[in-house]
Chains A and B, each alone.
Chain A
Amino acid sequence: MIVAKQKPIEEIIETLKGYNKILILGCNECVTVCEAGGKKEVAVLASALRMYFMNQGQEVKIEEATLERQCDHEYLEEIRKTVDQYDAVLSLACGVGVQFLAEKYMHTPILPGVDTCFMGVTEERGVWSERCQGCGQCILAWTAGICPVSRCAKRLLNGPCGGSSKGKCEINKEVPCAWQIIIDRLNELGRMEDYERLIPIKDWSTERAGGPRKVVREDVRS
């Protein structure tokens, strides 16, 4: 999933200055799972903002809604009839949702309520960590299913480097060395021959280096 974290309320208040009718719009997908922008977080933020503005003596109307997703037309269309009532929409979806809203509704300012962080997993409730950087050409088949692009600080494709010590990365003793995990797992799998195989220079044009990316599937396209 896409992992995001809530923006500090002070920052949100700053971006909302001057708007008198605001819709806080949550998303039922990834940001609900990582507890940053689901229905619950929308309700908490809306309550806090209502109290803030009231305490400031400002009459600001704050309303709440949560869509199934903010990255698909059909769900974003659900607010078409009502969006013009608002001076601004504060989206608690990831940056994808914020932008899709902004592209769709040209006359309403769309503001982000979360900081979108990475694609990752829930290690345990309250702990999320990165697993994939969407490089566009997955090499997990050769690295025992562990991604050195997202989990090695140097993104080494043939690691580890000299900074790996006792299974930890030199950038931080809390960070496991991705290549140590890869080697341990290859060992477990009895596939150390994969480690001997040099991974060739990666074509980074399928990653961000090639500019904004797009996937087109003619077979499913309508």
Chain B
Amino acid sequence: MRLQYPSGIRIICLPCTGKVDLLHLLHCFEKGADGVYVVGCLEGACQFNTGNLRARKRVALAQEILEKIGLGGDRVQMYNLSSSEAPRFVQIAEEMTQKILKLGPNPIKLARRKMAA
């Protein structure tokens, strides 16, 4: 289909979203990511049965922590789609990009720059 999606997104491939740990999500933000979204298979369709359900819980926990420390919980999201849904993939990428543009850059990135200056 050769569909285009926003160029600011970096894809990290994993065998299953069940591999995504809370720590991976937090470290992304510590390193300056403006937003992170986890894209898993449709619920009920996980090859490993519950990988995407576990990922959802971890994303929820990351949201809670980010909210409490003042970064904003909305910066991390969970989406589900099947591998054949390319247009949906693009739609999610655009949706997430818009959301992050609205939230602005990761305040950690700005704070770090300020401290270094």
Interface size on B, residues (CB 8 A): 17
In the complex the two chains form, is A9's CB within 8 Å of B69's CB?
yes
Given A50-B30, A57-B111, answer yes or no on A44-B71 (Cβ-Cβ < 8 Å).
Answer: no
A175 at the interface (CB under 8 A from B): no
A–B pairs, 28, beta carbons within 8 Å: A9-B65, A9-B68, A9-B69, A10-B68, A40-B23, A44-B23, A44-B26, A44-B65, A47-B23, A47-B26, A47-B27, A47-B30, A48-B26, A48-B65, A48-B69, A51-B30, A51-B69, A51-B108, A52-B69, A54-B111, A54-B112, A54-B115, A55-B70, A55-B71, A55-B107, A57-B111, A57-B114, A57-B115
User: From residue 68 to 117 of chain B, which have CB atoms closer than 8 A to chain A?
Assistant: 68-71, 107-108, 111-112, 114-115
Listed in ascending order, the chain A residues whose CB lies under 8 Å from chain B are: 9-10, 40, 43-44, 47-52, 54-57, 59
Listed in ascending order, the chain B residues whose CB lies under 8 Å from chain A are: 22-23, 26-27, 29-30, 65, 68-71, 107-108, 111-112, 114-115
State in angstroms the CA–CA spacing of A51 and B65 once bound together: 10
Q: How far apart are A63's CB and chain B's nearest CB, in angstroms?
A: 14
State in angstroms the CA–CA spacing of A50 and B29 once bound together: 11
Q: How far apart are A61's CB and chain B's nearest CB, in angstroms?
A: 12
Query: What residues of chain A lie closer than 8 Å to B68, measured between beta carbons?
Result: 9-10, 48
> In this complex, what residue of B is CB-closest to A59?
B115
State in angstroms the CA–CA spacing of A193 and B108 once bound together: 68
In the complex the two chains form, is B26's CB within 8 Å of A55's CB?
no
> In this complex, what residue of A is CB-closest to B114?
A57
Known: A54-B112, A55-B71. 6 other contacts (CB 8 A): A40-B23, A48-B65, A50-B30, A51-B30, A52-B69, A54-B115
Interface centre among B107, B111, B114, B115, by most chain A C-beta atoms within 10 angstroms, is B111
> In this complex, what residue of A is CB-closest to B111?
A54
Given A57-B111, A57-B114, A59-B115, answer yes or no on A52-B27 (Cβ-Cβ < 8 Å).
Answer: no
In the complex the two chains form, is B115's CB within 8 Å of A55's CB?
no
Q: How far apart are A32's CB and chain B's nearest CB, in angstroms?
A: 15
In the complex the two chains form, is B22's CB within 8 Å of A51's CB?
no
Given A9-B65, A59-B115, answer yes or no on A51-B29 (Cβ-Cβ < 8 Å).
Answer: yes
In the complex the two chains form, is A51's CB within 8 Å of B71's CB?
yes
Query: What residues of chain A lie closer than 8 Å to B30, measured between beta carbons?
Result: 47, 50-51
State in angstroms the CA–CA spacing of A43 and B70 once bound together: 19
> In this complex, what residue of B is CB-closest to A50?
B30
State in angstroms the CA–CA spacing of A52 and B72 once bound together: 11
